[in-house]
Amino acid sequence: MNDNTNKRTQRTPAERIAETEAKLERLRMKEAKQQAQSNPTVAALLEQKAEVQKDIREAKKVLGTGPQSAEARIAKHQAWIEKINDAVMEAEYTLSSAEQRLAEIESSIQSTLSSLVSKEMKAEG
């Protein structure tokens, strides 16, 4: 195994100072934000910022590719629409077939009744 792959590089004092100063600056900004929240003007701006961030988050959710995206919701609804269309086609076929069969049955009933009436009239006559 190569000894160079497991070696840790040490940061120079200048790098450590720069990192510490950056951390200190972040802490100062955090403290300043906390103190500024008591200021009505800043508090109103922070509230507006939160509302805009929420709008951005919701817009990205709709425009994204996740399960709540418009694309996913459209695909899901499209599947339902296809099932409904299939059910409509099946219902139309069933209705057409049933109406045709009903007409055939009614015709058979009419023929049978006419035949029976005709036989009764001959028997009476």
Domain shared by 38 and 87, yes or no? no
8 part of a folded domain: no
Domain shared by 78 and 54, yes or no? no
4 part of a folded domain: no
Domain shared by 73 and 120, yes or no? yes
Domain shared by 88 and 106, yes or no? yes
Q: How many domains does the chain have?
A: 2
Boundaries of domain holding 22: 13-63
Q: Which amino acid is at 106?
A: E
What CA–CA distance (Å, rounded) separates 72 from 55? Answer: 20
Domain shared by 50 and 85, yes or no? no
Residues 93 and 99: beta-carbon distance below 8 Å: no
Q: What is the pLDDT along the chain (125 residues), one digit of tens a residue?
A: 455 566 788 899 999 999 999 999 999 988 888 887 788 888 888 899 999 999 999 999 999 998 889 999 999 999 999 999 999 999 999 999 999 999 999 999 999 999 988 888 887 76
6 part of a folded domain: no
